[in-house]
Amino acid sequence: MKRTFSILLGAALAGIVSTPQAANIGSKAPQLQIEHWVKGKPVDLAKADDKKIHVIEFWATWCGPCRDSIPHLTKLQEKYKGKGVTVIGITDEPKATVERFVKRQKKQMEYTVAIEKGDTMSQAYMRAFGQTGIPATFVVDQQDRIVWVGHPKSGLDDVIDRLVKGTFDLEDEIAKEKAQIRLQQLSVEYWERLVEGRKGDETRKIGNELLSLVKDNAEVSCNIAWAVLTDENVKYRDLEFARAAAKAAYDLTEGEHPQVIDTYALSLFESGKVDEAIKLQKKALSLARDQQETVQLQKSLDRFQAKAGKSEQ
């Protein structure tokens, strides 16, 4: 579990969290506007006798993460090649550049590769769905609907597997998308309030709704709590929220994850519950997994105990 900003709060401030999608999951997939088919047969999404699952990835030869995903997409294509799945890599680079790259890849890049006409595809897919970086992958189901958008190594395989098996629930995915958009909105709004030092009922209300959306995810809950407790930009430390988020993570991990315990202990310490914090921190220390973690946890324990010592004097 990372001891960084919340992947929702800190990342949102850094501009890393993707923007809410303008287009909607479940919308009809735009037709492919292709200038050159570099590898594989041309694909027509609307062809009546060709109702397949299409994986459309936007990539570039100069993109390191894109190159890393190539073997993965090749394995995906191989696994599902007899089950109606077609993987298509789309770029906007010069034909000679792409052909040279594909040729060098040999068997590592065994799926369809194409070059879009101008930026027609980027407009219809990437910009329409608020995607600002590559690789970006779109999954088009058997009814020509875009049913998933994301990084090719983050959940793509599961989506394809469920589509092939017929267990994919579009309505459930739409609900998840709406929840994710709401989560992003709340994260930014809540964090801005903490940074600006805005207390009060409205901040508490936003915090409670945010907590309701993340309380079942131990990593997110822990990281949000840690950000609230430690980030130097925060003017209002919502300790009630931090304790609740840290406790949720603690319960989900059954009190057995040292970093989660450390976060929960800090939330108690900052709330004035020093003895409880010390007890928990000792437990975290007993579960430390390496020397670096031991040193970090011990440092916090020393600070807690020093505070307890001063209180007793």
10-residue averages of pLDDT along the chain (313 residues): 48 40 77 95 78 93 94 96 93 96 94 94 89 92 91 91 92 81 88 94 94 90 93 94 96 95 97 96 94 94 89 51
Domains in the chain, please, with CATH? 31-165 (3.40.30.10), 175-308 (1.25.40.10)
User: What confidence tens digit (pLDDT) does each residue in 223-273 have?
Assistant: 999 999 999 999 999 999 999 999 999 999 999 999 999 999 999 999 999
Per-residue DSSP letter, 48: T
Q: Please state, in angstroms and rounded to a whole number, the distance separating the CA atoms of residues 139 and 73.
A: 13
Q: Helix or strand or coil: residue 145?
A: strand
The alpha carbon of 237 is separated from its chain's Cα centroid by a whole number of angstroms, namely: 25
Distance between CA atoms of residues 42 and 54, nearest Å: 12
**Helix or strand (DSSP H, E) at 148:** strand 146-150
